[in-house]
Structure 1
Amino acid sequence: MKVILLERLEGWGGLGDVVTVKDGYARNFLLPRQKALRANNANLKVFEAQRAEIEARNAKAKEAAGRAGEKLDGSSYILIRQAGESGQLYGSVSGRDVADAVNAEGGKIERAMVAMDKPIKTLGVHEVKVRLHAEVAVTISVNIARSQDEAERQARGENVISSQFEEERAAADEAAQDLLAGGAGQIEGDYVE
């Protein structure tokens, strides 16, 4: 189906472009959300008559997204999740979880604005892209940890998983040294067989 784009769509084109898209994409997404019009003579005339108004509305939306993006860009959010010893999460962190965390701290984004190729499944600090408008994208960081203390350590740049293994190894070495210093395994005294 041929459509006239009413805003810039990544991978398809800019405002006013006539593009061919799959029928389902046009009927189920573009047309109901007023992102495009069917490309026919009547709609071409309507679009050309309203082009200035549509461009002004799009510029206004882009400006509003830019202002919101200034507040969000570079901000950091902490998500506390359960995870195994190796840092694998028992669940995963999706775009909905990120959007909920941002909205809980006063931001205003929708789940669809969070651009994640796949869910996050490990502890650590992850960079996530948020698309506020077709032409405005910001990057936020999401700190996923098992506790608030662990989140603070990760924020300082510490690798919590490797430091946990180092602490356990050091504790085991210390325990072994205590056993040897205490005489474990040595026979003292007069034992008669």
Structure 2
Amino acid sequence: MEIVLLERVEKLGQMGDVVRVKDGFARNFLLPRGKARRATKDNLRRFEEERAQLEARNLELRKEAEAVHAKLDGESFVVIRSASETGQLYGSVSTRDIAGLLTEGGFSTARNQVILDKPIKELGLVSVRIMLHPEVFSTVTLNVARTQDEAEAQARGENVLGRQDEEDEIEAEEFFEEGVLAADEETEGEDEELNS
């Protein structure tokens, strides 16, 4: 289906472009959300008449998005989740979770504005893109941790998983040292009994 875009759509085109898309994409996404119209003669003529209004509205929305971008870009948010000792989350951090976190932080965000390249399923620092406007993107850092202390350690650049491994190794060494000492004492006692 041929459509005329009423705003910039990522990976598709700019406002006013006439593009061919699959029927389902047009009917289920672009047309209902007001991002495009069918490319008929009447709609093309109507678009040209409304173009100045659409561009003015787009410019206004872009300025608002740039104001939010100035405050939001580079911000860091902490997400506390349950995870295994290897750092695998029990579940994942979804776009809904991120949008809720940003909204709590004072940045009104819908989940369709959050762009994840892949699901967040591990502890650590993750960069996430937020689409404030089709032409304005911000990047925020999510600090995914099990506790607030771990989040602070990750923010300082420490490897919390490595720290946990070191603690486990120290506990194991202490356990085996105690076991070896106890075993040595027992064998010494047995040796003395045999020698007597």
TM-score (norm. length: structure 2)? 0.91
Question: Aligned pair count?
Answer: 193
The CA distance in 1 between the partners of 2:160 and 2:152, in whole Å, is: 10
Q: Which residue of 1 aligns with 2:117?
A: 117
Cα shift readout 1:40-67 (whole Å, capped 9, x = no counterpart) = 1111111111111111111111111111
Alignment of 1:31-180 (within 5 A): 31-180=31-180
TM-score (norm. length: structure 1)? 0.93
Shift of 1:116: 0.8
Cα shift readout 1:134-178 (whole Å, capped 9, x = no counterpart) = 100111011111111111111111110111111211232234445
After the TM superposition, which segments of 4 or more aligned residues of structure 1 sit over 4 Å from their partners? 178-183
Q: Which amino acid aligns with 2:167?
A: E
Shift of 1:74: 0.7
The CA distance in 2 between the partners of 1:6 and 1:34, in whole Å, is: 7
The CA distance in 2 between the partners of 1:30 and 1:158, in whole Å, is: 45
Q: CA RMSD in A?
A: 1.8
Deviating more after overlay: 2-11 vs 22-31: 22-31
Which structure carries more helix by proportion? Answer: 2
Shift of 1:76: 0.8
Deviating more after overlay: 176-185 vs 83-92: 176-185
Q: Which residue of 1 aligns with 2:16?
A: 16
Q: Which residue of 2 aligns with 1:27?
A: 27
Can you give the 5+ residue segments of structure 1 that lack an aligned partner in the other structure?
none
- What is the identity percentage for the equivalent residue pairs of Structure 1 and Structure 2? 49
Cα shift readout 1:63-97 (whole Å, capped 9, x = no counterpart) = 11111111110111111111111000111111111
Shift of 1:191: 2.6
The CA distance in 1 between the partners of 2:64 and 2:185, in whole Å, is: 72
SS in 2 for 1:191: helix
Q: Which residue of 1 aligns with 2:193?
A: 191
Q: Which amino acid aligns with 1:191?
A: E
Shift of 1:119: 1.3
SS in 1 for 2:12: coil
The CA distance in 2 between the partners of 1:22 and 1:6, in whole Å, is: 17
Q: Which amino acid aligns with 1:77?
A: F
